[in-house]
Amino acid sequence: MKIEFPKKFWWGAATSGPQSEGRFNKKHANVFDHWYEIDPDAFYNNVGPDTASNFYNSFKEDITMMKKIGLNSVRTSIQWSRLIDDLEEGTLNEDGVRFYNDLIDEFLKNGIRPVINLHHFDIPAELYHKYGGWESKYVVDLFAQFAEQCFKLFGDRVEDWFTHNEPMVVVDGQYLYQFHYPLVRDGKKAVQVAYNLVLASAKAIEKFREVNTNPKGRIGIILNLTPSYPATLEAKDVEAARFADLWCNQMFLDPSIHGVFPKELIDVLERDGVLWESTIEEEKVILDNTIDVLGVNFYHPNRVQQPTVSPNSLTVDWMPTKYYDSYEKRNRRMNVDKGWEIYPKALYDIAINVRDNYNNIPWFVSENGMGVSREERWLNKDGMIEDEYRIQFIQEHLYWVSEGIKAGSNCFGYHLWTPIDSWSWMNAYRNRYGFISNNIHTQVKTIKKSGYWIKEVADTNAFS
């Protein structure tokens, strides 16, 4: 069966500054650089972000390889901690400006659309230590100032901007489940941070509308959407799935696209005494500055059941787990290395949800991918990794994307995580995701079988 895609479909891949560049010449540490400095043991094999995939030094060669495998668009992020010299004054770091100028020009020279994101979990550590990072509305304003600098510097050449990548992961990782520095566990702060991230996105969009002069320029947000499926049709499981959807998906989708938070969520948070602090002026900024385009990161669905922990036994004041529990393993198809369920049809459900409930806004799959460990197991005699499993994974997901498009959803592209195996938060290089492998000792990069496969797909806009 031949699966075809619309003209000008984006075939690409995504990375981020902190996971690819390496720390070279950076004036400031982001929270991950800092965490690695104080606790290298928190990272798999003690490998930190210092070198990552050396993109800062090898971006020209790397982009040549991306072109070779047919990618027509690539996302990365501008690191706040690299571009800005004085974080409060918002003055520019010359080397940072030079680097991102050269990088963007190199993409364009190679016919690759640069898709630029502004925050990928990497707030400068200093802003956390001095002001509590995303807990602070002052930091929200500093982010808008940084965003404005980016639009002014690069907006003549960059058409596609995104404010945050996966703000939910900041809430979960940094403020609830303690898997990202600063490892806080505080429901009330988590709720405030979620609100502040939405506000920061809206304030950045407001700046964009003020300073952008590129007629093709547009701006959006990248959300990791996890459709929530109840374990059974019992009312309590269904209710739990409803809350999971409100908390994990709608909390960011609704204000980003409709300009308001879901009332049902506000009611629950208010009743529990953890609702964020907001002002009428801020709410107006959120209402007036919705997105033009949506990025959807999809890895796995959320299988939800009623909470197993009694609300009274919570060890902290408030947790969303008061209302739902996720479970992952019951006889489901799994990516065992990463521990994530594989359920491609969820992408179709997302497509229909965006079509029906979110104005059928233009959207693309901004990340999808399969993290696999010890991929050298599949090295062939010519030194190429034969990652058939990745090709199959992508095909299955693309099939459901195409079904969504046929049903009228406005999806315009697919980006794999990631073009070249990159450094991955605490997992460092354990799980590999790329079309191109990276030997972290020599930094030699080699195209995998999936890289040659995607080239054919991109060239023909179809696969069979």
* Catalytic residue IDs: 166, 367
Q: Does 30 bind ligand BGP (CB under 6 A)?
A: no
Q: Which is nearer to ligand BGP, 245 or 367 (CB)?
A: 367
| Residue showing the smallest CB distance to ligand BGP in the complex | 424
**Rounded CA separation 460/457 (Å):** 5
Q: Which is nearer to ligand BGP, 230 or 369 (CB)?
A: 369
Q: Which is nearer to ligand BGP, 166 or 237 (CB)?
A: 166
CA distances from 175 to 214, 241, 255, 312 (A): 37, 22, 21, 20
Q: Does 136 bind ligand BGP (CB under 6 A)?
A: no
Reported in sequence order, the residue ranges of 50-143 that DSSP labels E, i.e. its strands, are 73-77, 113-117
Q: Is 250 left (phi over 0), alpha (psi -120 to 50) or beta?
A: alpha
Q: Does 174 bind ligand BGP (CB under 6 A)?
A: no
Compute the Cα dihedral for 268, 270, 273, 279 and give only its sign: positive
Residues of this chain, 96-115, that bind ligand BGP according to CB under 6 A: none
Q: Does 190 bind ligand BGP (CB under 6 A)?
A: no
Q: Which is nearer to ligand BGP, 286 or 293 (CB)?
A: 293
Q: Angle at Cα 54 formed by Cα 337 and Cα 435, nearest 5°?
A: 45
Q: Does 16 bind ligand BGP (CB under 6 A)?
A: yes
Q: From 18, 148, 137, 99, select the one nearest 418 (Cα to Cα).
A: 18
Closest distance of CB 224 from ligand BGP, Å: 6
Interface pick for ligand BGP out of 175, 318, 343, 425 (rule CB under 6 A): 425
Q: From 370, 400, 366, 351, select the one nearest 227 (Cα to Cα).
A: 351
Closest distance of CB 69 from ligand BGP, Å: 19
Interface pick for ligand BGP out of 367, 375, 387, 421 (rule CB under 6 A): 367
Binding mask 203-232 for ligand BGP (x = CB under 6 A): ---------------------x--------
Interface pick for ligand BGP out of 424, 437, 438, 446 (rule CB under 6 A): 424
Q: Which is nearer to ligand BGP, 296 or 457 (CB)?
A: 296
Q: Does the bond joining 182 to the residue before it have cis omega, within 30 degrees of 0?
A: yes
Q: Does 371 bind ligand BGP (CB under 6 A)?
A: yes
Choices 162-170, 316-324, 403-411, 439-447 (CB under 6 A): range interacting with ligand BGP: 162-170
Choices 41-49, 150-158, 405-413, 424-432 (CB under 6 A): range interacting with ligand BGP: 424-432
Instruction: Write down the H helix ranges in 339-448.
Output: 346-357, 388-406
Q: From 124, 129, 126, select the one nearest 146 (Cα to Cα).
A: 124
The tokens describing 149, both together, are 């600098």
Pairing assessment for the beta strands 302-305 and 293-297 based on DSSP bridges? unpaired
Q: Does 169 bind ligand BGP (CB under 6 A)?
A: yes
Per-residue burial over 44-80, b = 16 or more CB atoms within 10 Å of its CB, e = otherwise: eeebbbebbbbbbebbeebbebbbebbbbbbbbbbbb
Interface pick for ligand BGP out of 5, 100, 151, 417 (rule CB under 6 A): 417
Q: Which is nearer to ligand BGP, 78 or 240 (CB)?
A: 78
Per-position DSSP letters for 122-140, written without gaps between them: --BHHHHHHH-GGG-HHHH
Q: Does 344 bind ligand BGP (CB under 6 A)?
A: no
Interface pick for ligand BGP out of 62, 166, 254, 341 (rule CB under 6 A): 166
- Cα(first)–Cα(last) distance of the chain, in Å? 5
**Rounded CA separation 59/103 (Å):** 7
Interface pick for ligand BGP out of 163, 410, 431, 450 (rule CB under 6 A): 431
**Rounded CA separation 397/407 (Å):** 16
Choices 5-13, 129-137, 400-408, 419-427 (CB under 6 A): range interacting with ligand BGP: 419-427
Choices 33-41, 163-171, 226-234, 392-400 (CB under 6 A): range interacting with ligand BGP: 163-171
List of residues contacting ligand BGP (CB under 6 A): 16, 19, 165-166, 169, 224, 297, 367, 371, 417, 424-425, 427, 431
